[in-house]
Amino acid sequence: MVAAEKPDAFSTWPIVMGEGGHDTMAGPPASRIPPFRTSSGAPVVPLTEEQRFRFDKDGWLLIPGVLSEEECAVMRAHCYALRDNPEALPAAERSSYGGPLAALCDHPVLVGWAQEFLAHPTLASEETYGFRMEMSFLALRTSTDDPPFAFSPHNGSGLYRLPGATHTYHSIPGKAHAGLARAVWELNPVGIDDGGTMFITGSHKSAFGSPAAATDPSSSLWDTYSCPAGSLVLFTEGTSHSGQPWTNAERDRCAVFNAYNALNTRWSMSKPPEEQVVAMPKLRASLFREATTKENRGQYEYRAQVARI
Ligand SMILES: O=C(O)CCC(=O)C(=O)O
Ligand SMILES: [Fe+2]
């Protein structure tokens, strides 16, 4: 099939002729997947080539210092209000999807990553993101937690999961898909020994089961990170990972754990309360539409897409 001159790549994916004249299933580059602005009107920030390479190679990626200290302070206050006195918050803000944390759901840097690793190009439009959000919870951990947060490694081998599994990772030359993935916003600084999330780097592509050493958190198989407040840690759930006890007595871990998924699949039932979704800008609310494919692209008819392929 020869694409018409200047094809609308969104309507012709997945059958599209590559630039070099060969068929490719990769679809349009992330930079051509709408929307190009988030619900706050800010331009989407695409991953750099190096960030994209690292996420694919490692199964996780740290983007340091995305939020300003002022933004972190307001968000931390909301986290502690949710823990200590939720009734004092308006109902439309009473969750980690709400209040100042709502801006994290479709932060321009998050959207840039999701358009690369999660978005379904034919279902993305200026009115609807091409991916879903599901799950949001707080990790407010201290060095005096009793019991301390447990080391509990899970997942890995995302490349080899069968259809239907959400903890997947798939790639073909020039394109990769993260499956269920986590976006962790660290609202306090994290030191290398403090107790950030741990990863077996690259294990999303491991052909073999984990060796016994993976059950030992001090094994050199495990990596973690240090970062300033306001950093974003992205990982595919197809990577072996684990929480661990928080050890820094000087400051707590104050992190927001958000999760994203492909548009037509769902891992959990988690969703913001209805009054929060209704109060959201329509584009942000599109993150929470049903996990279906057919006719799930805002004003555009999926049928029309099919007809043009
Ligand atoms: O607690 C953590 O640091 C990791 C939690 C976890 O397993 C996840 O977010 O999927
Ligand atoms: Fe996990």
From the CA of 243, how far away is ligand 2's center (Å)?
A: 8
pLDDT at position 27 is: 75
| CA distance linking residue 84 with residue 101, whole number of Å | 16
Q: Which CATH superfamily is domain 42-291 in?
A: q2cbj1_9rhob like domain (2.60.120.620)
Closest ligand 1 atom, CA of 139?
1
Q: Which of 138, 184, 197 to mutate to test ligand 1, by most ligand atoms within 8 A of the CB atom?
A: 197
Beta bridge partners of 303: none
pLDDT at position 171 is: 93
Q: What is the mean pLDDT of residues 219-224?
A: 98
Closest CA to 292 of 273, 266, 260, 258: 266
Closest CA to 149 of 162, 136, 165, 138: 138
Q: What is the mean pLDDT of residues 212-224?
A: 97
The SS3 of residue 218 is: coil
- Identify the band that residue 217 occupies on the pLDDT scale cut at 50, 70 and 90: very high
| CA distance linking residue 218 with residue 102, whole number of Å | 36
pLDDT at position 122 is: 83
From the CA of 237, how far away is ligand 2's center (Å)?
A: 6
From the CA of 242, how far away is ligand 1's center (Å)?
A: 6
From the CA of 111, how far away is ligand 1's center (Å)?
A: 21
Ligand that comes closest to the CA of residue 135: 1
Beta bridge partners of 55: none
Q: What is the mean pLDDT of residues 249-254?
A: 98
Name the percent of the chain lying above pLDDT 70.
Answer: 88
| CA distance linking residue 307 with residue 12, whole number of Å | 10
- Identify the band that residue 295 occupies on the pLDDT scale cut at 50, 70 and 90: confident
Helix ranges (H only) for 29-153 are: 49-58, 69-84, 102-105, 108-117
255 and 229 in contact (C-beta within 8 Å)?
no
Lowest mean per-residue pLDDT among 9-13, 36-40, 69-73, 280-284 = 9-13
Q: How far, in Å, are 103, 167, 217, 302 from residue 72 at the CA level?
A: 12, 30, 29, 40
CB neighbour list of residue 95: distance below 8 Å, 6 or more residues apart: 82, 136, 272, 273, 276
Ligand that comes closest to the CA of residue 243: 1
Closest Cα to atom 7, ligand 1: which residue?
Answer: 242
- E strand or H helix at 253, and its extent? strand 253-262
pLDDT at position 12 is: 44
Ligand 1: list residues with CB < 6 Å: 139, 182, 197, 237, 241, 243, 257
pLDDT at position 117 is: 97
pLDDT, averaged across the chain: 89
Name the percent of the chain lying above pLDDT 90.
Answer: 78
Closest ligand 1 atom, CA of 182?
9
Residue ranges of the domains in the chain? 42-291
Amino acid at 106: D
pLDDT at position 215 is: 96
